[in-house]
Amino acid sequence: MSERMHSSSQSGKTPHANRKMAWAVGGTALVVLGAGVLIQVFRAQPAYPQAGPAKSNSPADAKGKPGEARPGQERLARVNNEYIAYDDVAAEAMQRHGEEVLEALVNRKIIEQACKARGIDVSDAEISEEVMKIAKKFNMAVDQWYQMLQTERKIAPMQYRRDVVWPMIALRKLAGEEVVVTQKDLKEAFERHYGPRVKARAIVLNNLRHATEVWAKAKANPENFGKLAAQYSVEPGSRSLEGSIPPIPRYSSNPELEREAFKLKEGEISGVIQLPKLNQFIILLCEGQTEQVLDDPSRVEGQLREELKEEKTQEAVAGVFEQIKKEARVDNYLTRQSTGGPKKKTAAADAGQNNKVTPVSGTKTSSAPASQRAAGAASTGAASPGPAPASSVKKSSAASPVPR
């Protein structure tokens, strides 16, 4: 986002207007969930997945005559003289999307229970008001906003209110405290979006010894840095551009990387910078700095304050959702996984279930019905490299080798 703001400001358009236009044209992924955490938590689901069981009074394996729906089944289609029944579609949908839909329902139930425990309620009027605010951000009437969601994201209005807006408001209420934007926050945001940036090329490697060897080659022949990046870098996006990356701003997600980048003069090559979280190493070639885009912070203070409030709210929402997930005990019989707090046995619900549920994050096992067996998810891990020479390796807490 900050890179778009930087480039759009240089072109003469205000970042705010440019971003709003890009979001409106690009679809509804922008604000479809209002809070970043919900983009992953609540995917688009068929309308009212909790509306009740299939409209059937007969067993799933009941047979009808050729060309007829099974007794009691709602007919959804006819192909020549044969019908396709509700249960046929439900079974196919379950096979294709069951885990995803179930995950969304579980997440919603977690939020519902947390709200009930804390006496929190979200009214229909609050949902309508929130939809109106979101639509207004894009200069649309509510019906136009609903129409765009329906056309571009296949999200029905009631589904949007229930699966997107309701959880967003509920989590904000659970988060509780009003976010505070400080002058320090504003100063750093202004510098991040409108201040100078370091233009650089990068070589990203995942092995310390290899990184040290490539660094020695780059130091010996700096003019070959681009070719070395194309040959050795493990980051495909920058590798294809001979190591070219977006300019590195201050106060983004890579503090150590930024600190080292801003120390460099044009033409200088950094040491090997370690990125422990990614088990990767990066080498930079400085190509100078961009110019300051804007000198007067007061011109954009209001916009920055609103954006920072939204970012902080999203962080708070993400934090509270992770917390209530940890506190909630979930035994997923479909995926055979258990997560969250101590097992809460309910004799009626678990009676007769003899198959173990695969524990996750050290939780205890529970049972699952034989009819709902599924393979458990496998966990993966990465080995960390050996110790790095202090003279050539600098540690970083960066979340990504390429600046955002």
- In the structure, what pLDDT confidence band is assigned to residue 346 with cuts at 50, 70 and 90? low
Judge whether 211 lies within some domain.
yes
Q: What is the pLDDT of residue 72?
A: 64
Judge whether 336 lies within some domain.
no
Q: What is the pLDDT of residue 177?
A: 72
Cβ neighbors of 362 (< 8 A, separation 6 or more) are none
Judge whether 2 lies within some domain.
no
Judge whether 247 lies within some domain.
yes
Q: What is the pLDDT of residue 277?
A: 75
CA atoms of 343 and 367, how far apart (whole Å):
11
Judge whether 309 lies within some domain.
no
Judge whether 213 lies within some domain.
yes
Number of domains in the chain: 1
Judge whether 64 lies within some domain.
no
CA distances for 385 relative to 264, 277, 356, angstroms: 26, 12, 37
> What CATH number is associated with residue 238?
3.10.50.40
Q: What is the pLDDT of residue 376?
A: 31
Bridge pairing between strands 358-359 and 337-339: parallel
The tens digit of pLDDT for each residue in 160-192 reads: 999 999 999 999 999 987 789 999 999 999 999
The whole domain housing 279 covers 195-295+386-395
CA distances for 25 relative to 17, 21, 38, 132, angstroms: 12, 6, 21, 19
Q: What predicted TM-score, i.e. pTM, was given to this entire model?
A: 0.58
| Region of poorest pLDDT, from 18-32, 241-255, 299-313, 339-353 | 18-32
CA atoms of 367 and 361, how far apart (whole Å):
17
CA atoms of 30 and 36, how far apart (whole Å):
9
Q: Which sign does the torsion angle of CA 124, 177, 361, 33 carry?
A: positive
The tens digit of pLDDT for each residue in 87-136 reads: 999 999 999 999 999 998 999 999 999 999 999 999 999 999 999 999 99
- In the structure, what pLDDT confidence band is assigned to residue 206 with cuts at 50, 70 and 90? very high
Q: Name the average pLDDT for the chain.
A: 75
Judged on CB neighbours under 10 Å (0-12, 13-18, 19+), 53 is exposed
Q: What is the pLDDT of residue 71?
A: 61
Residue range 256-273: average pLDDT? 93
Q: What is the pLDDT of residue 191?
A: 94
